[in-house]
Amino acid sequence: MAVITSARSLIIAPQWIGDAVMTEPLLRRLHARGERLTVGALPWVAPVYRAMPQVAEVMEFPFAHGGLQFKARRAIAKGIEGRFDKAYVLPNSLKSALLPLLARIPQRIGYLGEARVGLLTHRLKNPKNKPPMVAFYSALSGETGLEGDRPQLHIGAADIAATLHELGLQQGAYVVFAPGAEFGPAKRWPATHFAELAARLDLPVVLLGSGKEAALCDEIAAPVNAVQAGKCLNLAGKTSLPQALGLIAASSRTVSNDSGLMHVAAALGVPQVAIFGSSSPLHTPPLSDRATVLWLKVDPAYQPPLDCAPCFARECPLGHTRCLNDISAERVLRAL
């Protein structure tokens, strides 16, 4: 694939926060060779791209989950026709490749999938095995030497200070817990374990997540606060994503499951413990020297070996979820 320098490039972003973070090395490569980058993203992912200095513009798409929404895509395509030389289509869906085609963007680059042969001009075959996601996205650059790429996010000091002031917090004076995981309970360390860990920490805990995770976070915070008033602050569903990014950036440490906020913490260089259950850190690891991964599949001290992991299931097929239940609060405390 010929490399066009000084190209005007449209990036069609994935819809999940973790995937968005893992596209950053690709965008850094494209920017370094002179491409001007505009990212088209759904509103709940757009703030991640605003934390990437190499992105010149973020265009928020008004699309909802599911459905082709052809009229809306055609209207946006008409408005951007002639603005771009290239489009990188990061999701594998047919609908994500429609807009660049309708906008008549000359080069349209992406992976094969969902009958997209006629929609893309430059097509990569999907790898048979699950490669690390950073390498999967970075391969769309057409370059080699993808090993070692690590996502990087940047939050301005003024933005961090404003968030801390608004919420009455001080930099480095709290630990962030991100106990949710969109995929399902087989990726979530038990609330009782999180609560035990919070009670044993020497700093207050800030709990982050979506509104759907507010009850889970309250299940963690309530028993701790009943003994140590104010030890846990439940902000699930009460912050914007830019605020959550700032809170993670300013935290002393973070503890999370395999989730989008785990990747955010890694890209911000925050010390963290990442707990894996049904998924695999070989596929979606937190790419940071300051990250400690706990996964019983490869823990030599855990006997008998956990042969069922990774199952990639939403709920434990065997009903015991040992891959998470057997990681004690003491073990995470030592890792911190």
**Cα–Cα distance list, 48 to 58, 76, 136, 274, 277 (Å):** 10, 22, 19, 20, 25
Between CA 254 and CA 274 the distance in angstroms is 8
Q: Which two tokens stand for residue 126?
A: 């999907």
Are 137 and 18 part of one and the same domain? yes
Vertex 170, ends 237 and 153: CA angle to 5°?
Answer: 65
Cis peptide before 271 (omega within 30 of 0): no
In a domain, 149, yes or no: no
In a domain, 151, yes or no: no
**Are the beta carbons of 9 and 36 closer than 8 angstroms?**
yes
Nearest Cα neighbor of 51 from 133, 138, 149, 156 is: 156
Sort residue 148 into left (φ over 0), alpha (ψ -120 to 50) or beta: left
Between CA 68 and CA 79 the distance in angstroms is 18
In tens, the pLDDT along 146-196 reads 777 899 999 999 999 999 999 999 999 999 999 998 777 889 999 999 999
Are 124 and 225 part of one and the same domain? no
Are 325 and 241 part of one and the same domain? yes
Q: Which residue is associated with the tokens 């405390």?
A: 333
Out of 93, 117, 141, pick the residue that ends a domain.
141
For every residue of 176-229, DSSP letters joined together read: EEE---TT-GGG---HHHHHHHHHH-SS-EEE---GGGHHHHHHHHHHHHHHST
Are 123 and 239 part of one and the same domain? no
Vertex 195, ends 205 and 280: CA angle to 5°?
Answer: 90
Task: State the pLDDT at residue 131.
Answer: 79
Structural domain harbouring 126: 8-141
In a domain, 202, yes or no: yes
Over the Cα atoms of the chain, what is R_g? 21
Strands (E) in the chain, as ranges, are 8-12, 36-41, 55-60, 86-89, 107-111, 122-124, 175-178, 205-207, 232-234, 253-257, 272-275, 291-294
**Are the beta carbons of 85 and 4 closer than 8 angstroms?**
yes
Task: State the pLDDT at residue 265.
Answer: 98
Q: Which two tokens stand for residue 292?
A: 């400690």
Out of 92, 110, 141, pick the residue that ends a domain.
141
Are 56 and 86 part of one and the same domain? yes
Nearest Cα neighbor of 18 from 39, 44, 53, 54 is: 44
**Are the beta carbons of 162 and 249 closer than 8 angstroms?**
no
In a domain, 217, yes or no: yes
In a domain, 324, yes or no: yes
Task: State the pLDDT at residue 204.
Answer: 98
Find the CATH number of the domain harbouring 269. 3.40.50.2000
Which amino acid belongs to residue 237?
G
In a domain, 291, yes or no: yes
Out of 141, 173, 196, pick the residue that ends a domain.
141
Are 14 and 118 part of one and the same domain? yes
Are 166 and 78 part of one and the same domain? no
Count of structural domains, the chain? 2
Task: State the pLDDT at residue 2.
Answer: 47
Are 76 and 166 part of one and the same domain? no
> Does residue 257 sit in helix, strand or coil?
strand
Task: State the pLDDT at residue 283.
Answer: 86
Please give the average pLDDT of every successive group of 10 residues along the chain, which has 336 residues. 71 96 97 97 96 98 80 94 97 92 97 86 88 91 84 97 97 97 85 98 97 96 98 97 97 96 98 95 92 93 87 91 95 96
Task: State the pLDDT at residue 66.
Answer: 67
Are 168 and 84 part of one and the same domain? no
